[in-house]
């Protein structure tokens, strides 16, 4: 009776976990050629010698079907197409001038398509964080609400409504608003307007101002309105 065959490690670890040009694999880019290899820096804990000598030619774009844990620095010689948590999905919208007002208790876009995220593609997680920095002023002490909605609409509200109380003693205040948004379809495009609302028939104004003056005056009220979208 022959001895049982005990499976051992593959002859090439990289070749075993890499693939390219298969029908079930991500679309390849015929214009790209490269290689996958492991390396270690001098005077650091080296990777196993069997991997140090591994070089697998990639005739086109390819992927590694493996879980990778990196304890140290990751260096990418070229482009990186993955999306990392905290990564901006679009350059932040920065509004440097103008006043944007609402005098209604019903949430509405103060400037549809302008005070907005801009068009971005949802990450694989389907979750993003939208951050809004704005200086607001109210005509009287009042509750003020902020929210997001798909551009050009006011319902449904995306994520959550954020409410603050504007004091008559501090009519100008800087707000940093954080909206967690879930349930997006990965790869689909979205654009969210920022909605304002204020109670009791008062008026809320966002003051977009660009200034580099080194002297503070009574006119130094306002600042850039910034809307940013980050992956989760």
Predicted local distance difference test score (pLDDT) of residue 84: 83
Cα separation, 218 vs 227, in Å, equals 26
pLDDT at 160 over 70: yes
Report the alpha-carbon distance of residue 171 to residue 141 in Å, rounded.
Answer: 8
pLDDT band at 35 (very low <50, low <70, confident <90, very high): very low
* pLDDT tens digit sequence for 57-108: 444 455 555 556 666 666 666 555 678 889 999 999 999 999 999 999 999 9
What is the reported pLDDT for 49?
A: 52
115-156 pLDDT, tens digit per residue, is 999 999 999 999 999 999 999 988 888 999 999 999 999 999
In CATH, which of 1.10.760.10, 2.40.30.210, 3.40.50.300, 2.60.120.1340 is domain 88-212+219-231? 2.60.120.1340
> CA–CA separation, 136 vs 171, rounded Å?
8
Nearest to 204 by CA among 231, 176, 164, 232: 164
For the cut 50, the answer to whether the pLDDT of residue 20 exceeds it is no
> What gap in Å lies between CA 170 and CA 155, rounded to an integer?
31
pLDDT of residue 28: 41
Q: Residue 16, exposed/middle/buried by CB under 10 A (0-12, 13-18, 19+)? A: middle
99 phi, psi to nearest 5 deg: -120, 135
Question: How far is Cα 190 from Cα 122, in angstroms, rounded to an integer?
Answer: 7
Residue 177, pLDDT score: 96
Beta bridge partners of 137: 172, 205
Measured in residues, the chain has a length of 232
Closest CA to 226 of 91, 95, 89, 129: 95
22-34 core/surface letters (b: 16 or more CB in 10 A; e: else): eeeeeebeeeeee
3-state SS record for the chain: CCCCCCCCCCCCHHHHHEECCCCCCCCCCCCCCEEEECCCCCCCCCCCHHHHCCEEEECCCCEECCCCCCCCCCCCCCCCCCCCCCCEEEEEEEECCEEEEECCCCCEECCCCCCECCCEECCCCCCEEEEEEEEEEECCCEEEEEEEEECCCCCCCEEEEEEEEECCCCCEEEEEEEEEECCCCCCCEECEEEEEEECCCCCEEEEECCCCCCCCCCCCCCECEEEEEEEC
Q: What digits encode the pLDDT tens for the residues 180-220?
A: 999 999 999 999 999 999 999 999 999 899 888 888 887 77
Domain boundaries, the chain: 13-64, 88-212+219-231
């Amino acid at each position: 009776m022959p001895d049982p065959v005990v499976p051992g490690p593959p002859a090439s670890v990289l070749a075993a976990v890499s693939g390219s040009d298969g029908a079930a694999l991500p679309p390849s880019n015929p214009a790209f050629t490269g290689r996958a290899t492991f390396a270690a820096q001098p005077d650091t804990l080296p990777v196993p010698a069997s991997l140090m000598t591994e070089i697998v030619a990639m005739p086109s774009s390819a992927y590694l079907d493996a879980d990778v844990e990196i304890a140290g620095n990751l260096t990418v010689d070229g482009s990186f197409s993955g999306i990392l948590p905290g990564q901006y999905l679009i350059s932040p919208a920065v509004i440097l001038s103008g006043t944007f007002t609402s005098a209604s208790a019903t949430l509405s876009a103060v400037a549809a398509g302008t005070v907005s995220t801009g068009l971005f593609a949802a990450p694989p997680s389907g979750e993003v964080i939208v951050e809004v920095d704005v200086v607001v002023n109210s005509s009287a002490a009042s509750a003020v609400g902020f929210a997001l909605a798909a551009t050009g609409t006011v319902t449904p509200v995306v994520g959550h409504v954020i409410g603050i109380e504007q004091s008559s003693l501090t009519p100008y205040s800087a707000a940093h608003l954080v909206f967690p948004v879930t349930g997006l379809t990965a790869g689909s495009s979205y654009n969210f307007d920022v909605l304002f609302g204020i109670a009791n028939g008062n008026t809320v104004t966002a003051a977009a101002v660009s200034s580099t003056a080194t002297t503070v005056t009574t006119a130094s009220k306002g600042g850039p309105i910034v809307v940013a979208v980050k992956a989760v």
